[in-house]
Chain A
Amino acid sequence: DQQVKQNSPSLSVQEGRISILNCDYTNSMFDYFLWYKKYPAEGPTFLISISSIKDKNEDGRFTVFLNKSAKHLSLHIVPSQPGDSAVYFCAASARSGSRLTFGEGTQLTVNP
């Protein structure tokens, strides 16, 4: 039972354009959502998060949007840079505990 799902294994965009990474969830108890970025041979690092009381959170070039009715969130990167090339994991946490449930990840490639 995959409670957090990233349907696109990979995404390729041109430098300077917008990257949009998507994530869907099924568990209505999830109330906090995070995005992690992972470079090869490194552990995932926290990128940005959003609480279910908000529908948007912005940090520099990164914006996360949350649509609770659709159980969908997305990460927008504008403008995309080659250094953004990495695997991006969506994660969610429920009120009942602190454990994070991760999606499968999306490999983003930003071409110069």
Chain B
Amino acid sequence: NAGVTQTPKFQVLKTGQSMTLQCAQDMNHNSMYWYRQDPGMGLRLIYYSASEGTTDKGEVPNGYNVSRLNKREFSLRLESAAPSQTSVYFCASSEVRYGYTFGSGTRLTVV
């Protein structure tokens, strides 16, 4: 099925550990995004990539890094996980201005 694939679906980390969340889309979209969803906070943009080779900070970039590996893949890295990064992470892609397609999310718990 065409769409956005995120891995892993679930992850538990200890404080200070690192990990990379993977995202791939097969719709040939130029733009890709990483959001986090927290109760009462909605979806907040962490980083985005308007096109291959470019990345920019969103609303809440601290503690994260991203890599736009190619047109299909956009990864999010936590170098030293903190409990405040416990959240559900969503990757999305879009081609035209209005059409976002989201992945099914990664539920991350940092203990």
Partners in one complex: yes
Interface string of B57-89 (1 = CB under 8 A from A): 010000000000000000000000000000000
A window 1-52: CB within 8 A of B: 4, 6, 9, 32, 34, 36, 41-46, 49
B94 cross-chain contacts in A, Cβ below 8 A: 98
A window 55-81: CB within 8 A of B: none
B33, B42, B48 — most chain A CB neighbours (10 Å): B42
Alpha-carbon distance A43/B43, docked complex (angstroms): 11
Alpha-carbon distance A45/B4, docked complex (angstroms): 12
Task: Please give the distance in Å from B51's CB to the nearest CB on chain A.
Answer: 11
Known A-B contacts A43-B104, A44-B43; the reply to A99 vs B58 at CB < 8 A is yes
Q: Are A42 and B100 in contact (CB under 8 A)?
A: no
Q: Are A41 and B33 in contact (CB under 8 A)?
A: no
A104: contacting residue among B4, B40, B48, B97, CB under 8 A: B40
Interface size class on chain A is: 20 to 34
| Total interface residues in chain B, CB < 8 Å | 24
Task: Please give the distance in Å from B10's CB to the nearest CB on chain A.
Answer: 10
Q: Are A93 and B97 in contact (CB under 8 A)?
A: yes
Q: Are A104 and B102 in contact (CB under 8 A)?
A: no
Task: Please give the distance in Å from B86's CB to the nearest CB on chain A.
Answer: 17
Task: Please give the distance in Å from A48's CB to the nearest CB on chain B.
Answer: 11
A45: contacting residue among B35, B98, B102, CB under 8 A: B102
A32: contacting residue among B42, B48, B97, B104, CB under 8 A: B97
Contacts from B to A (Cβ < 8 Å): 4, 31, 33, 35, 40-45, 48, 50, 58, 90, 92, 94, 97-100, 102-105
**Interchain residue pairs A-B with the least CB separation, the first 3:** A43-B102, A104-B42, A102-B43
21 A-B contact pairs sorted by A residue (CB < 8 Å): A6-B42, A9-B40, A34-B98, A36-B100, A42-B104, A43-B102, A43-B104, A43-B105, A44-B43, A44-B90, A44-B100, A44-B102, A45-B102, A46-B99, A46-B100, A93-B97, A93-B98, A102-B35, A102-B42, A102-B44, A104-B40
